[in-house]
Amino acid sequence: MNGSRREFLHAAGAGLGVTLLDRTISPDDDLESTFKEIRKNILEMINEERDVEKVPPVELDDFATDVATKHAVDMVTNEFISHWGTDGLKPYHRYSGAGGTHATEENVSAVDGTWSMKAKDLKLDTAYLHVRLYQEKPPYDGHRRTILRPQHTHVGIGLALQSLRLRMVELFVAKYVEVQPIKREAKLGAQLSFSGKIMRRDYSLHHVEVYYEPLPTPVRLYKNKPGIYTIVVWINGSITGRAFPVTAVCIKAQ
């Protein structure tokens, strides 16, 4: 971690909701407890930023955090950063494959060579990772727009640390539809039933679409071959004034 980054965070801390931990990680300390405090801090930063833009706050979601953490571990273990995992799966594939049904958007960020293993320094590093995304400028501001998307209701924050390599995943979730249980794997040519209900009265169904992707292998596949079908429900509501996706249910056909 370079000096300019740390100086920036010390200067910006009060305005960005960055509060420092005073303790260090000892052999008797639980790293996960430090991560828990870091997640709380990042959530506070996200909601302060959303408040500035006059959009509703998001809640921390344990399920999304578990999914995000597994991807963070994959990235830190294999020394890379990407929305694609080493298994070739995309963010919504991972979330749906774990049992999720909601639409998601993912931010990932990384530091190779953290300042130290002290908890307060890890908190500064993760704050920097988030601030770097939030401060993006158009037209290269996709991560910032993900943070501020008004339809998002929850977020999972995944963290992983290994050999001074740090990875952070912010998995934003839009929870508006309750989907009935559905198989996530099926035989080619099978027929499946998809149903659910919109959980809020001020929203209405816009349309439902199903799109196909080949399985994440180097083999060229299309439709009558093994692949992933994703069911996306779009709804209308007052929060954005236009339709937005609220499910991403992936079914692997092979």
Rg (Cα) of the chain, in Å, rounded?
A: 19
Average pLDDT, the chain: 85
122 contact partners, CB below 8 Å, separation of at least 6:
25, 34, 38, 114, 116, 161, 166
Question: Quick one: which of 229, 72, 31, 238 has its CA closest to 159?
Answer: 72
pLDDT computed for residue 240 by the predictor: 67
118 confidence band (pLDDT: 50, 70, 90): confident
Do 38 and 159 touch, CB atoms closer than 8 A? yes
- Token pair of 230, please? 């994703």
The upper half-sphere exposure of residue 138, i.e. CA atoms within 13 Å in the direction of its Cβ, equals: 1
Nearest to 160, CA basis, from 82, 41, 77: 77
Write down the pLDDT at residue 100: 97
Is 45's pLDDT higher than 80?
yes
How many Å apart are CA 57 and CA 43, to the nearest integer? 9
Return the number of other C-beta atoms located less than 10 Å from residue 136's C-beta. 15
The pLDDT value recorded for residue 254 is: 81
Strand partners, 168: 109, 159
pTM of the predicted model as reported, rounded to 2 decimal places? 0.80
What is the mean pLDDT of the segment spanning 144-156? 98
